[in-house]
């Protein structure tokens, strides 16, 4: 029996492999390869795909899994931290973009209702493409990444009322007030579902599943939770992407969220490829040759206009100009949910066939341009910042604290108040080290200042902000942010202002280590390498390597900038040279039986070393551990004694711990 979908999947995978290999050689993002695959295999190309509807379903599953994993990584706590950006930033971006597109459409002769509909189409950006790229670049937690996500969340919510008003714009009767009240009630119900699910239901389910120790049951449970939440939220009229994101937030509150992420990631990557292929299938490239100038003009206008509006909204939220530029360029494309809305527009007569094809062409081209725009965004931002712009605009509309930190000397400057920044501040407080924090998130600054933290708002790439922190008198500068390009600029600026300050930088990426050292960093801490240091430290401790040898080894690894991890050279110190084996010896733990003749006797009386050639290293008594016990320490029943000796000697003495009748063993030494 022939299965058309199986044939289509083979075509998509086979063609994708060839296109992606070419893209890899040309250093072109993989998303472009999938779009090209869809263009070639789609109905406007070679028409190789027969089951187009089934491919669209697989594409929707890909979007669901992508947003589900993003929700797991982001967590409910992080969402609450950006609620202001969601509500204010999202509403301003959607509103301003809608009005701008409406005004342009009216200028070119469109009627009011059609112009409003075009505004709705232009207002949304691509959640799938943007979050996929930010995730690949590890920028979801940067200020511009968090702002982009916040606005995208609002857009996904806004698509629901846009679909509701489409029939009304077409002139059909409808009770908009009743629809909005119903929508509000559904929103409240959806929030309740997320809260109850995250707090009670999902943790209970996953805890029971984990007891089975079955990977299959765990994977099926996670997928079932994801799809169930998506289905339930879709009944509230919410988009599949937003429902999947909420499902991820629910799972993120459980202790097994990272395990769930590891299980889902391979499926996400496979199904997400179908989404990008399906987008490429929408493009009728014939229209590109028929109206190239019109499409080019609309595409450039859309990219520039949406970048300016989204960037302006980010500035209104209080972020500095560099973050605003990055966020604006990130959200410059037209989104995939506009395709759904456009189909409703065609159905109700708000878009004719020509305008619909123009819209699809412009949308797909803006999506295809997005990987290149996001990659070039830091360079574009740096170029624009060289222009003579107002300082207030460049540094952000939120002013810094009025109190200057000129009274601080020999202090610590912490740049970034995420997890690492908070931990450094906590350690500084415990050690009575004076410190000041520079943070770019206005909400974080407001909250932490109310809690008594010495924190102020500002972008530390600017000298004025660093001088506000009295950088010239600082002893140590810790840079703990997620933006690699910004980290390099901050290091250079801090080193120029205070060459004697010790600059420590945290980075996630190996490629950033050398550039950061070149611009003035004294220590660069790559997160994955520090994890490796901690792991091998625990390993060496288990092999009873002396602490001074372990500390020496760690110091050597860090002193050469983690060269041991970055390159396998002949000069790299070998763990085998640390003499981690103790030949012919082992450590055993023996429990004292209540009937043993050892009970009540001291170590001096037992003379374990002299009689049996074994050494008592430690004694565990309930929750207490007595390391290196002295001779007067008494043995009690159910104690656990840690002994060092040869396997044969430990085997001999073991009988005396649990067999009271074994008193006639050959004694191998005199009493101590």
Please indicate, yes or no, if residue 670 is contained in any of the structural domains. no
Angle, helices 215-235/52-74, rounded to nearest 10 degrees = 100
pLDDT higher than 80, residue 575: no
Least confident of 51-65, 191-205, 435-449, 467-481: 191-205
Split at pLDDT 50, 70, 90, the class of 665 is: very low
Split at pLDDT 50, 70, 90, the class of 573 is: very low
498 and 353: one domain? no
pLDDT of residue 528: 65
pLDDT of residue 644: 85
Which of 349, 76, 303 is CA-nearest to residue 203?
76
Please indicate, yes or no, if residue 183 is contained in any of the structural domains. yes
Please indicate, yes or no, if residue 669 is contained in any of the structural domains. no
CA 213/CA 216 separation, integer angstroms:
9
Mean pLDDT of 47-70: 85
Least confident of 18-22, 68-72, 300-304: 68-72
Q: Give the chain's domain count.
A: 4
CB-CB contact of 127 with 100 (8 Å):
no
pLDDT higher than 90, residue 311: yes
332 and 423: one domain? no
pLDDT of residue 2: 64
Range list of β-strands (E), 399-542: 412-415, 435-439, 455-457, 476-479, 502-507, 523-526
271 and 412: one domain? no
Per-residue pLDDT tens digits for 457-503? 888 888 888 888 889 999 999 999 888 888 998 999 999 999 999 99
CATH number of domain containing 221 = 1.20.1530.20
Mean pLDDT of 148-171: 85
Which of 48, 58, 13 is CA-nearest to residue 33?
13
Split at pLDDT 50, 70, 90, the class of 406 is: low
Global pTM? 0.69
CA 359/CA 344 separation, integer angstroms:
13
pLDDT higher than 60, residue 402: no
pLDDT of residue 312: 93
CA 38/CA 17 separation, integer angstroms:
13
CA 332/CA 440 separation, integer angstroms:
23
Mean pLDDT of 509-535: 80
Angle at 581 between CA 580 and CA 586, to 5 degrees: 130
CA 473/CA 470 separation, integer angstroms:
6
Please indicate, yes or no, if residue 390 is contained in any of the structural domains. no
End-to-end CA distance of the chain: 86
pLDDT of residue 183: 67
Mean pLDDT of 348-361: 88
Residue 512's domain comprises 398-521
Cα Rg, the chain, nearest whole Å: 32
Q: Quick one: which H or E segment has residue 541?
A: helix 527-542
432 and 573: one domain? no
CATH number of domain containing 595 = 3.30.70.1450
pLDDT higher than 60, residue 306: yes
427 and 516: one domain? yes
184 and 253: one domain? yes
Mean pLDDT of 584-607: 81
pLDDT higher than 70, residue 111: yes
Please indicate, yes or no, if residue 667 is contained in any of the structural domains. no
Query: How many residues are given for the chain?
Result: 672
Mean pLDDT of 208-213: 82
Pick 587 or 95 by higher pLDDT: 95
The domain boundary, picked from 363, 385, 407, lies at 385
pLDDT higher than 80, residue 206: yes
Split at pLDDT 50, 70, 90, the class of 583 is: low
Burial class (CB in 10 A: 0-12, 13-18, 19+), 260: buried
Split at pLDDT 50, 70, 90, the class of 582 is: low
Mean pLDDT of 1-26: 87
Mean pLDDT for the chain overall: 82
pLDDT higher than 50, residue 147: yes
Per-residue pLDDT tens digits for 238-278? 778 788 888 888 888 777 777 777 778 788 888 888 888 98
CA 164/CA 38 separation, integer angstroms:
31
598 and 534: one domain? no
Q: Is 410 left (phi over 0), alpha (psi -120 to 50) or beta?
A: left
Coil, strand or helix at 455: strand
172 and 289: one domain? yes
pLDDT of residue 647: 80
CB-CB contact of 67 with 131 (8 Å):
yes
């Amino acid at each position: 029996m022939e299965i058309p979908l199986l044939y289509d999947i083979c075509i998509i995978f086979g063609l994708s492999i060839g296109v992606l290999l070419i893209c890899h050689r040309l250093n072109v993002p993989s998303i472009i390869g999938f779009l090209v695959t869809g263009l070639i295999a789609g109905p406007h190309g070679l028409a190789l795909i027969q089951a187009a509807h089934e491919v669209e379903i697989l594409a929707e599953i890909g979007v669901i899994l992508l947003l589900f994993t993003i929700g797991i990584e982001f967590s409910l706590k992080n969402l609450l931290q950006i609620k202001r950006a969601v509500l204010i930033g999202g509403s301003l971006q959607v509103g301003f973009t809608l009005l701008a597109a409406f005004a342009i459409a009216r200028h070119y002769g469109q009627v009011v209702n059609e112009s409003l509909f075009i505004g709705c189409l232009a207002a949304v950006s691509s959640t799938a493409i943007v979050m996929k790229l930010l995730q690949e670049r590890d920028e979801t937690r940067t200020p511009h990444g968090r702002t982009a996500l916040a606005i995208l969340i609002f857009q996904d919510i806004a698509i629901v009322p846009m679909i509701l008003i489409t029939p009304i714009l077409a002139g059909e009767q409808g009770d908009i007030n009743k629809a909005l009240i119903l929508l509000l009630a559904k929103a409240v119900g959806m929030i309740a579902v997320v809260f109850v699910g995250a707090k009670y239901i999902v943790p209970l389910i996953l805890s029971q599943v984990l007891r089975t120790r079955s990977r299959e049951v765990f994977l099926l449970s996670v997928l079932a939770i994801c799809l169930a939440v998506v289905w339930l939220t879709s009944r509230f009229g919410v988009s599949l992407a937003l429902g999947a994101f909420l499902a991820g937030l629910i799972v993120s509150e459980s202790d097994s969220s990272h395990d769930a992420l590891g299980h889902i990631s391979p499926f996400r990557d496979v199904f997400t490829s179908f989404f990008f292929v399906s987008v490429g299938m929408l493009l009728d490239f014939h229209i590109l040759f028929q109206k190239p100038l019109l499409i080019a003009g609309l595409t450039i206008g859309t990219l520039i206009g949406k970048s300016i509006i989204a960037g302006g909204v980010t500035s209104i939220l209080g972020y500095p100009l560099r973050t605003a530029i990055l966020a604006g360029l990130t959200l410059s494309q037209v989104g995939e949910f506009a395709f759904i809305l456009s189909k409703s527009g065609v159905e109700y007569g708000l878009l004719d066939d020509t305008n619909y094809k123009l819209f699809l062409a412009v949308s797909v081209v803006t999506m295809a341009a997005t990987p290149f725009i996001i990659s070039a965004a830091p360079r574009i931002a740096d170029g624009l910042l060289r222009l003579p712009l107002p300082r207030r605009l460049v540094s952000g509309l939120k002013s810094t604290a009025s109190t200057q930190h000129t009274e601080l000397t020999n202090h610590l400057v912490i740049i970034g108040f995420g997890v690492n920044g908070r931990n450094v501040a906590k350690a500084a407080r415990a050690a009575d080290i004076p410190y000041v924090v520079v943070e770019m998130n206005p909400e974080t600054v407001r909250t932490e200042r109310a809690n008594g933290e010495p924190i102020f708002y500002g972008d530390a790439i600017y000298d004025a902000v660093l001088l506000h922190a009295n950088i010239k008198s600082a002893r140590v500068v810790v840079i703990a942010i997620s933006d690699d390009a910004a980290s390099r600029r901050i290091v250079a600026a801090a080193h120029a202002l205070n060459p004697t300050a010790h600059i420590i930088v945290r980075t996630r990426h190996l490629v950033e280590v050398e550039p950061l050292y070149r611009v003035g960093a004294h220590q660069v801490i790559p997160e994955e390498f520090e994890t490796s240091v901690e792991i091998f430290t625990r390993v060496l401790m288990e092999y009873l390597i002396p602490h001074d040898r372990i500390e020496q080894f760690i110091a050597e690894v860090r002193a050469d900038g983690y060269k041991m991890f970055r390159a396998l050279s002949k000069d790299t110190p070998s763990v085998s040279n640390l003499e981690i084996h103790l030949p012919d010896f082992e450590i055993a733990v023996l429990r004292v039986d209540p009937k043993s003749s050892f009970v009540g006797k001291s170590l001096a009386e037992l003379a374990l070393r002299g009689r049996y050639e074994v050494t008592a290293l430690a004694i565990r008594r309930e929750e207490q551990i007595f390391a290196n016990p002295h001779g007067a320490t008494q043995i009690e029943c159910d104690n656990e004694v840690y002994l060092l000796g040869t396997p044969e000697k430990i085997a001999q003495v073991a009988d005396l711990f649990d067999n009271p009748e074994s008193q006639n063993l050959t004694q191998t030494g005199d009493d101590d």
